Amino acid sequence: MSLSADTTLALPAAAPFDFSQSVSFLDGFSPCADGRICRDAELVTGGFAPEPFVAHLSPDGPDAVRAHVDWLRAAGDGSAVAAHLDNFLSLSDDLTPMYEAAQADEAFASVVGDLFGYHHVGFPTPFEAACWAALSQQTSIRVATELRDALVRAVGRVAVVDGTAVSLFPTPAMVRARPDEIRDAIGNERKTKSLLAAAEAFLEHDLANLTTDDLLTQLADVWGFGSWSAEFIALRGFGRMSILPSEESRLCTAVGDVYGIENATMNDVRRCADPYGDCRGYWAHYIRVWDFLGDESVSDD
C-alpha cells in the first residue's frame, strides 16, 4: 500500500510520563493491542482522523512522544491525529492528585512505584470501546477479537507495515452506512444490532461533551448495553477516570492482593478507593494493570 505523504508531530505529555510503561501494558492487552505493533520503544497504530493514517510513535525525551504519521490517501489534519493519539495514550492526564494521595497509602504506593509514569492506555477511540463492549458480551476475548478483526476488514481498513497488519478501526459513520456488510462479517444479529445502535448514538449525540452522569445514562440506553457497558465505555473509551466500576470480580481480587484483604468485596474496594476522590477510577485501573502485568510476568517464567 503506497503512502501519499507524511507528517511529524511532537506530542507533549503531562509529567510524569513513561512511554515504555504504555507499551508494556499494550503489548499484552489484546483488546487494545491486536492490529497494532508494539516493539521495544516503538508503537505503530492507525486510524481515521478522518483521513486514514498510520502513526509510528516513539519517546521524544522525557514526558513527550514523537509521532511520524503516514497518510494512506490524501494528507489530513495533523491536529486531529494528535487528538486521537492523546485520547489513546491519555497523554494529557494529570497523575499528580492520585500520586499525592498515594503518599498516605503504603499499599498503593508500591503499585505506583511499579507503574510510575504510566498513563491510562484506553481504546484509541470511544467508538472502538463501544464496539468492543458489543462484541465481547458473553463472548471469549479470542472470539471477540476475531469479530473485531472481521469488522475492520469489512468496513474499516488494514495497512501492512513491515509485513505486519495494522488495523484502522471504522468510524461510526462507516459502520452505520454499511449494515449488510456488518451482518455478514459478524454473523450474529444481536451483536450487529448493538453495533449499529452504538454507531447511531455516536452520530446523533455529542457524547464527549456530556457530563459523566449524562454520558453513563446515554450509553446505558444504547440497545444491547446496560450499566456495565456504559461504565466500561466511559472509562476505557472516554477516559472518565472518576468512575469506580460498580461490579468487577477481578478488581476485588486485585485489591485484596494489594491491601492484604482476604475475599475482598466491592464494599472493600469502595472503602480503599474513597481517599482518591475523582481519581478513584485511575486508582482502580492502576491496580488492575499491576495485577495484569504481574500475571504476565508469572506466565513468562
Using one digit for the tens of pLDDT, what is the confidence trace for 104-117?
999 999 999 999 99
Instruction: State mean pLDDT over 42-47.
Output: 95
Give residue 5's pLDDT.
62
Nearest to 52 by CA among 74, 82, 36, 78: 74
Residue 300: pLDDT band (50, 70, 90) is very low
Residue 29: pLDDT band (50, 70, 90) is confident
Residues 210-234: pLDDT tens digits? 999 999 999 999 999 999 999 999 9
Distance (Å, whole) CA 266 – CA 109: 21
| pLDDT more than 90, % of the chain | 86
Residue 13: pLDDT band (50, 70, 90) is very high
Q: Is the pLDDT of residue 1 over 60?
A: no
Residues 54-92: pLDDT tens digits? 999 999 988 999 999 999 988 889 999 999 999 999 999
Sheet (strand 42-48) strand order: 5-12, 64-71, 52-59, 42-48, 37-39
Q: Cβ distance 231 to 216 under 8 Å?
A: yes
Residues 282-293: pLDDT tens digits? 999 999 999 999
- Looking at domain 126-236, its CATH superfamily turns out to be Hypothetical protein; domain 2 (1.10.340.30)
Q: Is the pLDDT of residue 4 over 70?
A: no
Q: Is the pLDDT of residue 188 over 90?
A: yes
> Helix, strand or coil for residue 42?
strand
The interaxial angle of helices 249-259 and 280-300, nearest 10 deg, is: 80
Residue 134's CB is within 10 A of a number of other CB atoms, namely 31
- Lowest-confidence segment of 41-55, 131-145, 284-298 by average pLDDT: 284-298
Rg of the chain's alpha carbons, rounded to an integer?
A: 19
pTM metric for this prediction: 0.93
Kindly report the CATH number that applies to the domain delimited by 5-96.
Answer: 3.30.310
Residue 2: pLDDT band (50, 70, 90) is very low
Residue spans in the chain of domains classed CATH 1.10.340.30: 126-236
Residue spans in the chain of domains classed CATH 3.30.310: 5-96
Q: For CA atoms 104, 106, 109, 113, give the dihedral sign.
A: positive
Residue 298: pLDDT band (50, 70, 90) is very low
